[in-house]
Amino acid sequence: MQQASCNVNWTGKKVLGLHTGSINVANGFIEFKDNTVSGGEIQIDMTSITITDIEDSKTHDEFLAHLTNDDFFAVDKFRTSKLVITNATQIELNKYKISGILTIKDISHPVTFFSTIEIFTDFLHSLGEIVIDRTLYNIRYGSGKFIDNLGDKLIYDDFVLQFKLVGKL
């Protein structure tokens, strides 16, 4: 599959609300063998991270700088993240349980998530959601696991990536 169109949106939650944004897929592919997913790799361009829920430009810019610095994703040092698909099991028509290795900040951990994958003529469509524990990737800012007495400044450890991938076969 060659990438044709991709949308990846993120959501991070804290005690007093949440923030949302998007991030671009740099490139990727999904492999098929015997009409089922057999592997693949998706690379994410960490320099493309955006915030969609903050309208005030000063607050937006400060938060974006915060996300891209060492407190979170250290984008100047780690420009890409990637998901390598190692296994996929079809659990029902067009629905797969996908396992892989997610690498963020050059730290890799196994992940498992569900995705719908459908083929229409010459195009593959995939929708899914991955829940990621940011502390596994040394992103500890505002985490109750590592900092006591955060009160309403606590940032939940899990963030969510929702994706829609369309690729040409």
More confident residue, 119 or 79: 79
Query: Which residues are CB-contacts of 27 (< 8 A; sequence separation ≥ 6)?
Result: 3, 43
Task: Answer whether residue 9 shows pLDDT above 80.
Answer: yes
Number of domains within the chain: 1
Residue with tokens 């994410």: 44
- Least trusted range by pLDDT, from 76-80, 122-126, 146-150: 146-150
51 lies in which domain range?
Answer: 2-168
Residue-wise pLDDT tens digits, 49-76: 999 999 999 999 998 998 899 888 999 9
- Least trusted range by pLDDT, from 25-34, 35-44, 101-110, 143-152: 143-152
Residue-wise pLDDT tens digits, 87-132: 999 999 999 999 999 999 999 999 999 999 988 888 888 999 999 9
8 touches 163 (CB < 8 A): yes
Q: How far is 104 from 32, CA to CA, in rounded Å?
A: 25
Closest by CA position to 10, among listed 48, 59, 56: 48
Q: How far is 141 from 70, CA to CA, in rounded Å?
A: 9
Q: Is the pTM of this model over 0.75?
A: yes
3-state secondary structure of 4: strand
Q: Is 17 left (phi over 0), alpha (psi -120 to 50) or beta?
A: left
CATH of the domain at 42: 2.40.128.110
**Residues 99-104: contacts with CB under 8 Å, at least 24 apart:** 102/130, 102/132, 104/73, 104/78, 104/132, 104/137, 104/139
Longest dimension (CA), the chain: 55
Task: Please give the DSSP secondary-structure letter assigned to residue 153.
Answer: G
Q: List strand residue ranges (DSSP E) for 15-146, in order.
A: 17-33, 36-51, 80-92, 95-104, 107-120, 123-133
